[in-house]
Amino acid sequence: MNILEVNNLKVWDAHSGKKIIQDSSFHLKRGNCLAIVGESGSGKSVTCRTIMRLNSPSLLHSGDILLNGENINQLSEKEMRKKRGRNLCMILQNGMSAFDPSCVVGVHLRETLTEHFNWSKREIEESMTVAMKSVMLKNPTEIMNKYPHQLSGGMLQRIMIALAFVLEPDIIIADEPTTALDTISQFEVVEQFMKLRERMGCSMIFISHDLGVVRKIADDMLVMKNGEIVERGNTEAIFVQPEHEYTNYLISTRVALSSHFKRLIGGGVVVAKG
């Protein structure tokens, strides 16, 4: 059963007429994680922002976007706002850009949750506290009283994941959620995503440059190049036997990079003698 079906999605720049997404059709099965990979500028983020209807007004689109069978492309802006957060939740690359820099994060969390639930301030704080502890954020009350710039990138990502725990959306769209983080935070955030899936069984679209993470987390994947999907299917099957030469290139580049890295690390270890 598909929770999301995207049919014949086209996106273009109204000013230049440049086609950004050519004619994209894909689906997300309920409870599955679909990864979108591809080089920079291939249209991964524009695809996801179109689903959320968060593109800049200069980008126009056509096609059907069926969420639970309902064509959300035909909804008014007001109806779409209700879908965002409660049904579709996006976790961005840079946690800093997701929060209002002028207020403490607790205000942002309260505003978001008040829009979707008829909860008191206390209920909101209680459910956020539980969710924040579950993503290993200690001292939730203290964190909620801090401004975004006073928190690390990894902490902000985990706050967004905690918010997703509370919102329990049908679909979480994560746009390179670990790119801006250091290696340790990347590992922790990926762990939290896996936990999120296990606990909520939610459906997820996961954009990533990191093929190691994709192989670990995604059931299915799409490979994009120049606004087109060039390969799709089961993640493991694609990794074992990529059909498109571009996918082959992406996978073999990763393998080459990783063995180069291992050689460097191995070669860099000097054991003192005597």
| Residues in touch with ligand ATP (CB under 6 A) | 13, 20, 38, 40-46, 56, 58-59
Q: Which is nearer to ligand ATP, 25 or 58 (CB)?
A: 58
Structure tokens of 118?
């008829």
CB 23 within 8 A of CB 79: no
> First-to-last CA distance in the chain?
65
Min separation Cβ 46 and ligand ATP, Å = 3
Min separation Cβ 39 and ligand ATP, Å = 7
Q: How many CB atoms lie within 10 A of CB 231?
A: 20
CB 196 within 8 A of CB 220: no
Q: Which is nearer to ligand ATP, 39 or 168 (CB)?
A: 39
Min separation Cβ 43 and ligand ATP, Å = 4
CB 38 within 8 A of CB 210: no
Min separation Cβ 191 and ligand ATP, Å = 23
Collapse the DSSP code of 234 into the 3-class scheme (helix H, G, I; strand E, B; otherwise coil) and give the result: strand
Which residue type is seen at 139?
A: N
Collapse the DSSP code of 242 into the 3-class scheme (helix H, G, I; strand E, B; otherwise coil) and give the result: coil
Q: Which is nearer to ligand ATP, 59 or 107 (CB)?
A: 59
Min separation Cβ 52 and ligand ATP, Å = 13
Min separation Cβ 18 and ligand ATP, Å = 7
Structure tokens of 180?
């801006």
Min separation Cβ 209 and ligand ATP, Å = 6
Q: Which is nearer to ligand ATP, 61 or 83 (CB)?
A: 61
- Chain-centroid distance of CA 73 in Å reads 20
Q: Which is nearer to ligand ATP, 42 or 192 (CB)?
A: 42
**Which residues partner with 37 through β-bridges?**
223
Q: Which is nearer to ligand ATP, 40 or 76 (CB)?
A: 40
Alpha helices (H) along 53-120:
77-86, 95-98, 105-116
Burial class (CB in 10 A: 0-12, 13-18, 19+), 108: middle
CB 27 within 8 A of CB 5: yes
- CA-to-CA dists, residue 159 to 11, 37, 132, 146, 236, angstroms: 31, 25, 7, 12, 31
Q: Which is nearer to ligand ATP, 56 or 102 (CB)?
A: 56
